[in-house]
């Protein structure tokens, strides 16, 4: 969050951008945060949630699939990982739209441009191949 007097994130009001806000709000409201250790018995388990429970990467993957269902191009959707509070690892969905990158975050109700996100990004899926990850440092 920018400090008082800091830059203000501009909000895109186009109908297509509404998909991003709707998916972010819906998924953030419907999933219950449960750690992978509690849920699956392992420290990390990446799967699209089927039972309404998960951690940040489950939120990001569900948002990814919801946007695909709405007709978004897979090349514009990227799972990304980073750190928040300089400690906690965190996963989000990054969406290329209108020559900008936007972040759909389980901790944030607003859809912000990547440069305004509190996530300090480490890696993100490549646009050309979802199996390839690129460093973002």
In this predicted structure, what is the pLDDT of residue 1?
Answer: 38
- DSSP 3-state of 126: coil
pTM assigned to the model: 0.84
Give the range among 15-29, 46-60, 92-106 with minimum mean pLDDT: 15-29
- CA–CA separation, 59 and 30 (whole Å): 10
The dotted CATH code for 15-135 is 3.10.620.30
**What percentage of the chain carries pLDDT values higher than 90?**
73
Write down how long the chain is: 137
Distances (CA, A) of 37 to 40, 42, 46, 54, 97: 6, 5, 12, 10, 35
Range with the lowest mean pLDDT among 1-5, 55-59, 62-66, 83-87?
Answer: 1-5
Secondary structure in 3-state letters for 2-25: CCCCCCCCCCCCCHHHHHHHHHHH
Is 65:79 a contact under the CB 8 Å cutoff?
no
Residue with tokens 């509690």: 38
Q: What is the per-residue pLDDT for 6?
A: 43
Average pLDDT over residues 8-36: 81
Domain ranges of the chain: 15-135
């Amino acid at each position: 969050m920018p400090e008082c007097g800091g830059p203000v994130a501009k909000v895109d009001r186009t109908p297509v951008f509404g998909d991003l806000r709707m998916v972010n709000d819906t998924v953030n409201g419907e999933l219950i945060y449960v750690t992978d250790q509690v849920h699956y018995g392992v420290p990390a388990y990446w799967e699209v949630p089927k039972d309404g429970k998960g951690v940040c990467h489950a939120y990001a993957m569900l948002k990814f699939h919801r946007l695909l269902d709405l007709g978004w191009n897979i090349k514009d959707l990227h799972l990304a990982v980073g750190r928040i509070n300089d400690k906690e690892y965190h996963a989000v969905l990054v969406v290329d739209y209108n020559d900008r990158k936007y972040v759909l975050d389980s901790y944030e109700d607003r859809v912000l441009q990547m440069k305004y996100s509190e996530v300090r990004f480490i890696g993100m899926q490549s646009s050309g191949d979802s199996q390839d990850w690129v460093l973002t440092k």
